[in-house]
Structure 1
């Protein structure tokens, strides 16, 4: 099991993680640190616990928005997939109709050709 040292609000923390996840944990900690530092500039140093709580709420809000957008996009994909299936079916029906018309026209032409040859 790996361990990573990260810095949040100028304080170092050692965090355990799975082997190979060290870089990802560092990136996540860096993102949290940016949120905390931004909050500290806005509201001042109100304590690590409060800054981390506020940063956590901001990140949770971002996650909530992202999940909502993902759900909307999945719904849109489902709608488009349904529309595509409907369009494919209409295309098949149109192709069948065109094929029937062409078959009928070919029969008429063959019949006319036989009449002309017989005359």
Structure 2
């Protein structure tokens, strides 16, 4: 297990993480520290625990909004895939109809050509 020391609200916290995840954990801590800093700038010193809880709630609010948007996009993708599949099916049906019609026309043209050749 790797260990990283992150700083949030001016306080150092030593944390464990999987090998290779140190930079990721450090970046997450920096982002969370920005939330804490934003709240402190907005509300002043209202207590470390309260600021941390408020920052956590802000992060969760952002996460829920992103999950909602992702669900909407997944729904839209599903509808687009269904529309695409229906269009491809229609194209296949049209190809069969067109091929059949061309075959019939070819037979008629050959019959007319045969009659003209016999005359």
After TM superposition, the score normalised by the length of structure 1 is 0.97
1:46 aligned partner: 46
1:95 aligned partner: 95
Q: State the distance in 2 between where 1:79 and 1:48 align.
A: 47
2:7 aligned partner: 7
Please show how residues 1-119 of structure 1 align to structure 2 within 5 Å: 1-119=1-119
Q: State the distance in 1 between where 2:112 and 2:26 align.
A: 82
Residues 27-69 of structure 1 deviation map (CA, whole Å, 9 limit, x = unaligned): 0000000000000000001111111100000000000011111
| Runs of 4+ off more than 6 Å | none
Moved more, 71-80 or 24-33: 71-80
Q: State the distance in 2 between where 1:98 and 1:20 align.
A: 59
After TM superposition, the score normalised by the length of structure 2 is 0.97
User: Structure 1 unaligned runs (5+)?
Assistant: none
Residues 51-96 of structure 1 deviation map (CA, whole Å, 9 limit, x = unaligned): 1100000000000011111111111111111111100010011111
Shift of 1:16: 1.1
User: Structure 2 unaligned runs (5+)?
Assistant: none
* Matched pairs, number: 119
